[in-house]
Amino acid sequence: MPVKYRIDHQRRLILTWGVGTVLAQDMFEYQRTVWSRPDVAGYCEVVDMTFAETIESPTAKNMRDLASLSAEMAESVATGKLAIVAPQQLVFGLGRMYEAYREMQPGTKKEMAVFRTLDEASVYLGIAIRSDEFQSASADGECGTSTA
């Protein structure tokens, strides 16, 4: 499964990571699955794409549609920050595109930024995050049907 996540209720943090080939539909499924849960409203989120080898269907339309869905789902709740970790050039660019589309959504509340390293994202969120927290064995859930 290409998108995995772990929810840390103590730190009010969702740790998400891509593995192998990640499809646009996997990110949409993740958004709908995790952010429809009332127990995570207002949590911060880090999406680490360090181990995503391939991003399928990386179109501007997909980024715009995902940003729109994300903003709609966050309309009625206080939101935490989102940090995207993207060391690869293509994924970093997609993250910045998503950030721009998200900021254009009416009533958007979530602050977000894209970083090259987990350390930078951790500082931005104000939460200490270790790279070993992004491990398959610790996943609370998975979204998608792609294989690594």
**Which tops the pLDDT comparison, 69 or 147?**
69
Distance CA 108, CA 102 (A): 7
Q: Where are the beta strands (DSSP E) in 1-148?
A: 3-8, 13-18, 20-23, 44-48, 52-56, 82-85, 112-115, 141-143
Largest CA distance in the chain: 38
Q: For residue range 99-137, list pLDDT tens digits in order.
A: 999 888 877 778 899 999 999 999 999 999 999 888 765
User: Beta 112-115 vs 141-143: how paired, if at all?
Assistant: unpaired
Task: Read off the pLDDT of each residue in 53-61 and give the average, rounded to a whole number.
Answer: 85
147 pLDDT band, cuts 50/70/90, is very low
Domains and CATH numbers, the chain: 3-129 (3.30.750.24)
Q: For residue range 11-46, list pLDDT tens digits in order.
A: 999 999 999 999 889 999 999 999 888 899 889 999
80 pLDDT band, cuts 50/70/90, is confident
77 pLDDT band, cuts 50/70/90, is low
148 pLDDT band, cuts 50/70/90, is very low
